[in-house]
Homo-oligomer: A and B are copies of this chain.
C-alpha cells in the first residue's frame, strides 16, 4: 500500500516544486531589482538562528537597512525577539509546515516597505532537511550548525552542505565543555562542498561575528 501511494506521489511533489520555483524566480527578480541581498538561514531547532540574527542586527544598526522574515510552526517568540532590533520583522506561522515556501516569502514581502531595505534575512523553520529543497528567491543559502549538535551533522545532512553558500558553526564558546572534533566536521564539509567558507561564531559572546558581518558586506 505504501509503495502504491509513493508512485503517485512523485509527480505531485514535482508540480509543487515547479510552482514554488516560479514564485521564487519572481521573488529573486524583485529583490535583485531593488538591490536587496537576501539570505535563507537554515539550521536545526536550537542551533541559534534567532540569537545569531539578534547579534547581527545589533552589529548592523545604523549602517545597513535590514528586514527579517521568520518562520515557525507556532508562537511569535522569534519575531518578538527580533523586533527589538529591527522595525521590519514579519513572523510567518507555518502550522504543521516543516519549511518556508516562496509564496509565503512573497506574501510577507508585500507587507514591507522595501524601498528602505538593502538586506533581507529569512530565518527558515528549524529543520536541516525540508527547507533545503525549496528555493525562496534568496541570494545565498547559509547553513547554520552548532557545536552542541555534534561533529557528525555535516555528513548526515549532505543536501544542505552541498547547497550552502556559507557554513556558520555556532556556539564555539561552548567548545571547552564538549567533545567536538572541529577537523572532522570540516573534513566532512569539504567532501561535499570543497570551497564553501566555514565561519566559527558565537552569537552569545560575539566571537567571530566580524567575519560574518564582513561576508554580508561583500
Chain A contact residues, CB within 8 Å of chain B: 1-6, 8-9, 12, 15-16, 18-20, 22-23, 44-46, 72-75, 77, 96, 98, 101-103, 125-130, 133, 146, 148-150, 152-153, 155-159, 171, 174, 177
Enumerate chain B residues within 8 angstroms of A152, measured Cβ to Cβ: 75, 77
Q: Closest CB-CB distance, A101 to chain B, in whole Å?
A: 6
CA distance A156 to B199 in the complex (A): 28
Interface CB pairs A-B, < 8 A, 8: A1-B23, A3-B103, A9-B12, A45-B128, A46-B146, A126-B128, A127-B130, A148-B174
Asked if residues A98 and B156 are in contact (CB atoms below 8 Å), the reply is no
CA distance A2 to B105 in the complex (A): 12
CA distance A77 to B157 in the complex (A): 12
Q: Closest CB-CB distance, A184 to chain B, in whole Å?
A: 11
Enumerate chain B residues within 8 angstroms of A18, measured Cβ to Cβ: 1, 5
Residue in B3, B103, B130, B157 whose CB lies within 8 Å of A130: B130
Asked if residues B155 and A77 are in contact (CB atoms below 8 Å), the reply is yes
A8, A156, A177, most chain B CB atoms within 10 A: A156
Given contacts A45-B44, A148-B171, contact A98 B2 (CB under 8 A): no
Residue in B8, B46, B96, B103 whose CB lies within 8 Å of A129: B96
Asked if residues A73 and B133 are in contact (CB atoms below 8 Å), the reply is no
Enumerate chain B residues within 8 angstroms of A22, measured Cβ to Cβ: 1
Enumerate chain B residues within 8 angstroms of A98, measured Cβ to Cβ: 98, 127, 129-130
Apart from A2-B103, A45-B149, A75-B152, list 7 A-B contacts with CB within 8 A.
Answer: A1-B22, A6-B16, A44-B44, A44-B45, A45-B128, A127-B129, A174-B174
Asked if residues B2 and A72 are in contact (CB atoms below 8 Å), the reply is no
Q: Closest CB-CB distance, A18 to chain B, in whole Å?
A: 8
Asked if residues A46 and B127 are in contact (CB atoms below 8 Å), the reply is no
Given contacts A2-B101, A157-B45, contact A16 B9 (CB under 8 A): yes
